[in-house]
Amino acid sequence: MTDGPLIVQSDKTLLLEVDHADAAAARSAIAPFAELERAPEHVHTYRVTPLALWNARAAGHDAEQVVDALVRYSRYAVPQPLLVDVVDTMGRYGRLQLTNSPVHGLVMVALDRAVLEEVLRQKKIAPLLGARIDDDTVIVHPSERGHLKQALLKIGWPAEDLAGYVDGEAHPIALAEDGWTLRSYQREAVDGFWDGGSGVVVLPCGAGKTLVGAAAMAKAQATTLILVTNTVSGRQWKRELIARTSLTEDEIGEYSGERKEIRPVTIATYQVITRKSKGEYKHLELFDSRDWGLVIYDEVHLLPAPVFRMTADLQSRRRLGLTATLVREDGREGDVFSLIGPKRYDAPWRDIEQQGWIAPAECTEVRVTLTDAERLGYAVAEAEERYKMASTAHTKVNVVKAILGKHPGEPALVIGAYLDQLEELREALDAPIIQGSTKNKEREELFDRFRRGELPVLVVSKVANFSIDLPEASVAIQVSGTFGSRQEEAQRLGRLLRPKGDGRQAHFYSVVSRDTLDTDYAAHRQRFLAEQGYAYRIVDADDLLGPALPDVG
């Protein structure tokens, strides 16, 4: 036994003692191959999963490094079966390789003939393959490159894709050199992506993922298709690219519900690409409209399922996924690995905060006691109505007003999921509302007025969860969410993490109805942020705000 900071358990969980002198070194050593599950104050729990091990293997780590990290930092003897399993699991990656043959084109080569025999007998895989050239090589239909990688991952034999990428149509793009430079972690992220060819960069909200995209474009020197969550986000990308690169407005097209411009750099929304007409995706021609050299997926954790199918056809293009969290509520992290690429760079939120690049944040859960009438209504409601009733309780309105009163003069966002609740708050707070039906022009005008300090409070629906740059916001009050969505919670906190000009702290409040489903879902939503080291302080609404709040009527 040693005095290491890590306890390695046979169920593949790792317990890290946070206060140990070697905790930081151990965390750094296990981060490439272990996923953080829980991060309370003193002991953090990680889990070693096959996908995490394959991500590590794709990033250049081998089993010997993983075993060494576990043995070096473990307090007790590491269970021998776990070490064997690590070696065996990592050894499965790359026994099948996709590569280009000068004679036959795209082929799958087996480094282990028995694995190839096993795979060829899989009913879902055989149709993706062509003729067998020799004992160890089989032709792959080029259009099935992505589908094959998906299918192989699902049966536990992830292929190493060495087939390379087409350069695409050349287009000059340079980073502007006036007044700014890439931060060290942004440069590392770009290099990690470029060395791997395709993959995902994970950075906190506010850490400059757009600049990573711009730098990747400057490396590619090629036409680029950028996929974004909404039109407002797309226009932010356009403004940043014009400010930070040699690109001009005429070189950047918008492909959205409002415009259909295809230019050397084209920014398209997920919504328009996944829009169906008579059962068909009518905008698929966008993917073939130019010889794209790079495809960037902003907020890749939100990639709609239909885009996965389209992405399977883009395997010969370099692909960059950008996200603050690889958590997907639909469990399709494996599809991101297969079709966009492995995780190439991941920076913990707290590390970036300590470097001063994102604002420190205090997270508070305010628990509200419902009135007797609200409690009775909740108790007798149908199961499917209970969460909405708890989330939209009228009692929360007073609490929101009082929280805003604690932060006079600080730009604040009030965020919710239910439109009737947001309308009630709009009226009570005398603040404008931005929701799905708000026209893009009006949204941009309101966001600009908020940035200039003309609007102290904005009420926003989930349309503002993603990719909206509001660096001035320092207070966010969440009144309702999409059930237990961890990614949504991360994005909402992310609205506050842009550094403040005066260095002030950000405050994130989640207003939750006590003794209801609202509390249960809030606990689940907070998991990702807990993994990143954000501790929620739980307070009672009466204790925080004072007794006998006047009714807003």
Q: Are residues 390 and 503 both part of a single domain?
A: yes
Q: How many CB atoms lie within 10 A of CB 252?
A: 23
Task: Looking at mean pLDDT, say which of 56-60, 74-78, 451-455 comes out highest.
Answer: 74-78
Task: Looking at mean pLDDT, say which of 129-133, 283-287, 532-536 comes out highest.
Answer: 129-133
518: left (phi over 0), alpha (psi -120 to 50) or beta: alpha
Give Cα separations from 106 to 98, 101, 112, 153, 520 (angstroms): 7, 6, 19, 18, 50
pLDDT at 338 exceeding the cut of 60:
yes
In a domain, 533, yes or no: yes
> Can you tell me the mean pLDDT for 86-105?
94
Q: Are residues 35 and 148 both part of a single domain?
A: no
In a domain, 1, yes or no: no
Q: How far apart are CA 399 and CA 542, in angstroms?
A: 9
Q: What is the mean pLDDT of the chain?
A: 85
In a domain, 240, yes or no: yes
pLDDT of residue 9: 95
pLDDT at 311 exceeding the cut of 60:
yes
Q: ∠422-424-425 over CA atoms, to 5°? A: 65
> Can you tell me the mean pLDDT for 442-446?
85
pLDDT at 129 exceeding the cut of 80:
yes
pLDDT of residue 486: 54
Q: Are residues 377 and 521 both part of a single domain?
A: yes
pLDDT of residue 159: 94
pLDDT of residue 551: 44
Q: Are residues 150 and 246 both part of a single domain?
A: no
Q: Are residues 528 and 405 both part of a single domain?
A: yes
Which of 21-35, 119-133, 476-490 has the least mean pLDDT?
Answer: 476-490
pLDDT at 292 exceeding the cut of 90:
yes
Among 494, 147, 97, 508, smallest CA distance to 322 is for 494
Q: Are residues 149 and 48 both part of a single domain?
A: no
Position with higher pLDDT, 120 vs 354? 120
Which of 77-91, 424-438, 465-479 has the least mean pLDDT?
Answer: 465-479
pLDDT of residue 545: 60
Which of 121-125, 325-329, 453-457 has the least mean pLDDT?
Answer: 325-329
In a domain, 177, yes or no: no
Given 77, 92, 107, the domain boundary residue is 92
What's the pTM value of the predicted model, to 2 decimals? 0.75
Residue 533 confidence class, pLDDT cut points 50, 70, 90: low
How many domains does one find in the chain? 4
pLDDT of residue 1: 58
pLDDT of residue 487: 59
Given 335, 353, 371, the domain boundary residue is 353
Which of 151-165, 447-461, 464-478 has the least mean pLDDT?
Answer: 464-478
Residue 318: give its domain's CATH number.
3.40.50.300
pLDDT at 41 exceeding the cut of 70:
no
pLDDT of residue 164: 87
In a domain, 171, yes or no: no
Position with higher pLDDT, 540 vs 40? 540
In a domain, 439, yes or no: yes
Structural domain for 112, as ranges: 96-161
In this structure, are residues 86 and 66 in contact, taking their beta carbons and an 8 Å threshold? yes
Residue 536 confidence class, pLDDT cut points 50, 70, 90: confident
Residue 25 identity (one-letter amino acid): A
pLDDT of residue 549: 42
In a domain, 173, yes or no: no
Share of the chain above pLDDT 70, in %: 88
pLDDT per residue over 359-408, tens digit each? 777 888 889 998 999 999 988 888 778 888 988 999 999 999 999 998 98
**513 burial type by CB count under 10 A (0-12 exposed, 13-18 middle, 19+ buried):** buried
Q: How far apart are CA 114 and CA 100, in angstroms?
A: 22
Give Cα separations from 354 to 53, 349, 530 (angstroms): 28, 9, 17
pLDDT of residue 501: 61
In a domain, 167, yes or no: no
Give Cβ neighbours of residue 499 (< 8 Å, ≥ 6 apart): 206, 356, 357, 358, 359, 471
Q: Are residues 371 and 482 both part of a single domain?
A: yes
pLDDT per residue over 237-276, tens digit each? 999 999 999 999 999 999 988 888 999 999 998 888 877 7
In this structure, are residues 58 and 33 in contact, taking their beta carbons and an 8 Å threshold? no
Q: Are residues 255 and 338 both part of a single domain?
A: yes
Q: Are residues 88 and 100 both part of a single domain?
A: no
Q: How far apart are CA 78 and CA 73, in angstroms?
A: 10
Q: Are residues 398 and 457 both part of a single domain?
A: yes
In this structure, are residues 496 and 361 in contact, taking their beta carbons and an 8 Å threshold? yes
Q: Are residues 203 and 101 both part of a single domain?
A: no
Residue 179 confidence class, pLDDT cut points 50, 70, 90: confident
Pairing of strands 412-415, 457-460: parallel
Task: Looking at mean pLDDT, say which of 16-25, 68-77, 281-290, 402-411 comes out highest.
Answer: 68-77
Position with higher pLDDT, 97 vs 478? 97
Give Cβ neighbours of residue 267 (< 8 Å, ≥ 6 apart): 226, 228, 234, 237, 238, 252, 253, 254, 255
pLDDT of residue 40: 66
Q: Are residues 407 and 346 both part of a single domain?
A: no
Residue 534 confidence class, pLDDT cut points 50, 70, 90: low
Given 92, 126, 152, the domain boundary residue is 92
Position with higher pLDDT, 63 vs 535? 63
pLDDT at 526 exceeding the cut of 50:
yes
> Can you tell me the mean pLDDT for 79-83?
94
Q: How far apart are CA 174 and CA 488, in angstroms?
A: 34
pLDDT at 329 exceeding the cut of 60:
no
Which of 67-76, 81-90, 311-320 has the least mean pLDDT?
Answer: 311-320
Task: Looking at mean pLDDT, say which of 269-273, 347-351, 532-536 comes out highest.
Answer: 269-273
pLDDT at 499 exceeding the cut of 80:
no
> In this structure, which long-range contacts are made by residues 439-444, counting pairs with CB atoms below 8 Å and at least 24 apart in sequence?
440/231, 440/232, 440/258, 443/232, 444/232, 444/235
Q: How far apart are CA 268 and CA 126, in angstroms?
A: 35
